Amino acid sequence: FRQADTMKSLRLLLAALAVVTAVLADHHAHDDVDKLVEGINRITYQIFEFEHKLDARLDPARIRRAGSLEARVEALEEPSCAEHQHQCGGDDPQCISSLFVCDGRVDCRNGEDEKHCSLPTNPGDTFVGDVVFDHCTKRRPQHITLQVESVSTAKFFPAFPKVHVHLEISSDNDFEHAEASLPGDGYYSFADDELVIYPPEEDGLAFHGDFDGHNFDRFVGDIIHTASDEACARFIFHRK
């Protein structure tokens, strides 16, 4: 492995330099000290360059983007687990019940079900959604702002934190300019990376925010008829 070789040669060089330092200590020769300093600086540069290469490969943003791409391919493929089950993933796939994800006990053989349990929707977070299509909402807005007000997690069942949000909608037409701020309650599901808000009004329209599991600054928000489970409007949300 080439990088391992690089490491070894760098180490050798370093050891040699240490010896040189010791020898030079006896001579007090200033020219040699200058050379030594120069050598050390060169090695420092090489080491930092190498670290930079490693960091570029381990760049979390890049890994997140790769994960999002894989999630899109996964969405196209046949689901590998039954409904209401969660895929543990990795090189040895396993399906577990969605109820077991982030419940504080390891259920996957690879422990994946307890690894990604930080909530992406925290109190104070704001997401702004732009309309993709809409043929059911009352106001037909261009944008919806989702404001997370509070979150409560039951100690005995942390898998589904309760979320309280405000949906701020401003609409404009020829006759009036109207604004609404609808309070809504719902929950976040770690198993599906999904934020579900029960219908805030009497029209039976619920809200499903679908994160891709890697990029938590963006999600697809669908307005869903609770009776038919059909999405009749879609907004793409970005974290503000």
Partner 1 sequence: MWRLLILSALSGLILADQAGDFVGRVFGDVDPRLAANSLKIISLEKKLTSLKGKLHDAEKVDPDGFLNEIDARVSELEGTHCAKREFQCGGNEQECVSDILVCDGHNDCHNGHDEDSTVCSTAPVKAGNVFSGTSHWKDCLVRHDHVTRITITQSSRRKFYQARIWVRALVESDLTSHGKTTTSSFQAKGYYNFAHRRLVLVPLGDHDSHLSVVCNFDHGDSERASCHRVLEATLYPCADLFVTLSQHN
Interface ranges with partner 1 (CB under 8 A): 3-4, 7, 10-11, 14, 17-18, 21, 24-25, 28, 30, 33, 36-37, 40-41, 43-44, 47, 50-51, 54-55, 57-58, 63, 66, 69-70, 73, 76-77, 91-95, 109
User: Rounded to whole angstroms, how far apart are CA atoms 84 and 159?
Assistant: 14
Say if CB 190 and CB 208 are below 8 A apart. Answer: no
Which residues are CB-contacts of 73 (< 8 A; sequence separation ≥ 6)? none
Closest distance to partner 1 from the beta carbon of 33 (Å): 6
In the DSSP assignment, the letter for residue 78 is P
Shortest gap between Cβ of 93 and partner 1 (angstroms)?
A: 5
Q: Which residue lies nearer to partner 1 by CB, 43 or 182?
A: 43
For partner 1, the closer CB: 81 or 131: 81
Could you tell me the smallest distance in angstroms from the CB atom of residue 220 to partner 1?
20
Residue 34 vs 203, nearer CB to partner 1: 34
Minimum distance, C-beta of residue 88 to partner 1, in the bound complex (Å): 10
136 dihedral zone (left: phi>0; alpha: psi -120 to 50; beta) = alpha
Amino acid at 213: G
DSSP code for 77: S
